[in-house]
Amino acid sequence: MKIWDLPSSEEEAVIFFQNKGLLPKNVKCQNNHDMKLSYSDGVRFRCDLKSCRFKKSIRIGTWFENSRLSFLTILRFIYCWSEELTSINFCSKQLNMNHNTVVDWNNYLREVCVERLAAKEQKKIGGPGKVVEINESLYTKRKNNAGRILPQQWIFGGLCRETDECFIVKIPNRSLPVLLEAITAHIEEGTTIYSDSWKGYSTSKLEEAGLNHLKVNHKFNFVDPETKVNTQRIERLWGSAKWRNKKQRGTHRQHLDSYIAEFIWRRKSQDPFDQILNDISVFWENFNGTEN
C-alpha cells in the first residue's frame, strides 16, 4: 500500500481496522440487542432502543483500548513506522504527536515484534554445506549524554550466506564459554563457520561441537588471501543495525532486546505494513487467550 492509498477520515480508518480484524464489526448490548456504530461522541456502539440506550466504546477489548489517539492518527503512525519514519521530530510535525506518545507507540510496535518472533520456532541456522559468518560487536556507547561511563553491552550474531538467515543475541562478554554457548545454541552441526581471529573463537572447541572453523586475521587482511575467508556480510549487518540505532538517536539499554527483535523482524518482512497489522491481530488474540 502507498501512503496516498491510506484512509483519509476517521470513519475510513475504523473500517480499515475492522477489515483487518483489529476492530469489531458487530456488537450486541448487554440486553443482546444489535448495536450501531456512532461517531457523534467518539467512536462508540450504541443501542437505539429506548428501553436500553446502552453505549460501548469500540476500543474496549481491542489492542487500542488504552489509547486516546484517533484511529486515523494511529493508522498513519503504523504506516510511518513500517517505513521507518517515526522519529520524534517527524511525528511531531506530521502527526501532531508529542514526545512521550511517539516513544510509547514505537515501544508498542516493537513489543509486537518481540512477541511475534518469540511465538515462532527459533530454528538454528546453517547446516552441512553451508557457511555462517559470526561476529561480535559493541552495540552501545561508552558514555551517555551526561558524560557518565556506561557498562559495555556486547551483542553476538551469525549470518548464513546461502539462506540469508541470521540471529542476534545479547552476551555478557566475549569469553570462550559465552561465545561457544551462543554458537551451539543457534548454529547447526556440520556448518562451516567464518570468523575473525578473536581468541574466544577456539577452533578446537568448535570442532568438538561438530563445526568446521576458518578464520581471517583482520590485523593483516579483510579477506584471507589463501582461503578467501571473510566476515564482510555479518559486519554489514552490524552496520545496518547500528545505522538504525543512530537514526533513532540511540537505544535505551532496557529496550535493547526489543530493538534487536525489531531489526530481525524487519529483515524477515517483505511488506512491513501488512505484516505488522497481521502480527498485531495475532498478538492480541494470543494475549486475550492468555488472560481469559
Give me the residue spans of the domains in the chain: 131-255
142 pLDDT above the threshold of 60: no
pLDDT of residue 292: 37
Q: What H or E segment, with its residue span, contains residue 85?
A: none
Comparison of pLDDT for 23 and 150, the residue scoring more = 23
What 8-state DSSP symbol labels residue 255?
Answer: G
180 pLDDT above the threshold of 80: yes
Comparison of pLDDT for 249 and 94, the residue scoring more = 94
In terms of Cα–Cα distance, which of 37, 46, 238, 254 is closest to 134? 238
146 pLDDT above the threshold of 60: no
102-105's contacts with Cβ under 8 Å and 24+ in sequence apart are 105/69, 105/74, 105/77, 105/81
290 pLDDT above the threshold of 50: no
Q: Tell me what the mean pLDDT of segment 80-97 comes to.
A: 94
Comparison of pLDDT for 1 and 156, the residue scoring more = 156
Instruction: Specify the amino acid at residue 264.
Output: I
Instruction: Specify the amino acid at residue 175.
Output: S
DSSP 127-191: -TT-EEEEEEEE-S-SB-TT--B----EEEEEEETTT--EEEEEES---HHHHHHHHHHHB-TT-
Number of H helices, E strands in the chain: 9, 8
Q: CB–CB of 68/43 below 8 Å?
A: no
What is the rounded CA–CA span in Å between residue 103 and residue 105? 6
Sheet holding 192-196, edge to edge: 166-171, 154-160, 131-138, 192-196, 212-216
Taking only the tens place, the pLDDT of each residue in 39-53 is: 887 899 988 887 788
151 pLDDT above the threshold of 80: no
Q: Tell me what the mean pLDDT of segment 50-68 comes to.
A: 88
pLDDT of residue 121: 64
DSSP 88-136: HHHHHHHS---HHHHHHHHHHHHHHHHHHHHHS--PPB--TT-EEEEEE
pLDDT of residue 130: 96
pLDDT of residue 8: 95
Q: CB–CB of 264/166 below 8 Å?
A: yes
Point out the least confidently predicted range of 49-53, 161-165, 200-204, 246-250: 246-250
Q: CB–CB of 137/111 below 8 Å?
A: no
Sheet holding 44-46, edge to edge: 36-38, 44-46, 55-57
pLDDT of residue 49: 84
Q: Tell me what the mean pLDDT of segment 75-83 comes to.
A: 96
Task: Quickly state the pLDDT bin for 140 (edges 50, 70, 90).
Answer: low
287 pLDDT above the threshold of 70: no
CA distances from 113 to 46, 57, 160, 257, 284 (A): 35, 27, 22, 10, 12
Determine the CATH number of domain 131-255: 3.30.420.10
In this structure, the chain runs to a length of 292
pLDDT of residue 147: 59
pLDDT of residue 183: 95
289 pLDDT above the threshold of 60: no
Mean pLDDT for the chain? 86
Point out the least confidently predicted range of 104-113, 138-147, 180-189, 238-247: 138-147
Q: CB–CB of 196/230 below 8 Å?
A: no
98 pLDDT above the threshold of 90: yes
Report the percentage of the chain scoring pLDDT > 70.
88
Q: Tell me what the mean pLDDT of segment 233-240 comes to.
A: 85
